[in-house]
Structure 1
Amino acid sequence: MFAKSSKINEFRLWGLLLTLFGMGLMILGTAGIVFWGGSTGRVFAAVFMVIGMVSMLASVAIYFWAGMLSTSAVILMCPECGRQTKILGKTDRCMYCKTKMTLDPKQATDLDEDELASISSTPPNA
């Protein structure tokens, strides 16, 4: 979207955007009563209130999903900023300094060839 960030923060961003969108729609619907009044304004308000409520419920679901993902995420120390961060999947970014991190040594870019050879020669259960 804008600048890359961690996956958990991306989910939270979409939840926040849906919350703001839903609130904006509900306010816009209420403005229909002020401008048109009567039954037309009430129908306009009801439609926008329902759409806004659906958006708000979707944001609650996204926040809940991000929270559940956050509880099972791997916690590790960022090599750049030294803070604890959570990583989802094999690759992710630091939640604070946006440094790319990976749990897979084959995808790491700053390892020497000797380090890669020693990693690939060790058995996976060691």
Structure 2
Amino acid sequence: MAGKLAYTSKINKIRSFALILIFVGFAVMYGGILAKKIEWLMLALFLLGLMFILLSCVIYLWIGMLSTRAVPIVCPSCEKRTKMLGRVDACMHCKQPLTLDKDLEGKIFDERYNNRKFRRQAKADNEE
């Protein structure tokens, strides 16, 4: 199992990053409580922690808006509804690699297929 790659959904990756930002913000604010003897440091840490939490809120808003445009599909493996962003993505539930692009069916799953520069390079390599 160590050699098997585990893919994750892009939406879940971004949501996880936003959640980590919230915890980092709380930890920085907790550092402000520990530094209450030095008022300017306490204030700076509280404001920095607040900035992390506000950035997390902005990311949650952005991914929520992006999620409304994502293509809803049914995973062929687990048969649960999932959302797909880009040309290739992974199921949110079972992490099955997914694509709606007929040109990529049967090819090795690579998340770089969502990158235009990589797609152009791969297309040029296939034409040679």
Length-normalised TM-score, structure 2 = 0.76
Identical aligned pairs, as a percentage?
A: 38
Pick aligned residue for 2:71 from 74, 89, 100: 74
Cα distance between partner residues in 2 of 1:68 and 1:26: 29
Cα distance between partner residues in 1 of 2:7 and 2:41: 38
Pick aligned residue for 1:26 from 13, 25, 29: 29
Q: Which residue in the other structure is 1:58 paired with?
A: 55
Count of paired positions: 102
Deviating runs (4+, > 2 A) in structure 1? none
Shift of 1:4: 3.0
Q: Which residue in the other structure is 2:20 paired with?
A: 17
Q: Deviations over 1:33-82 (max 9, x none)?
A: 1xxx2xxx211110101111111111001100110011111111101000
Q: Which residue in the other structure is 1:8 paired with?
A: 11
Flag structure 2 segments of 5+ consecutive residues without an equivalent: 1-5, 108-128
Cα distance between partner residues in 1 of 2:28 and 2:69: 34
Cα distance between partner residues in 2 of 1:48 and 1:18: 14
Q: Residues 95-110 of structure 1: matches in 2 within 5 Å?
A: 95-109=92-106
Cα distance between partner residues in 2 of 1:14 and 1:79: 27
AA aligned to 1:98 is K
SS of structure 2 residue aligned to 1:86? strand
> How big is the alpha-carbon RMSD for the aligned residues of Structure 1 and Structure 2?
1.1
Length-normalised TM-score, structure 1 = 0.78
SS of structure 2 residue aligned to 1:20? helix
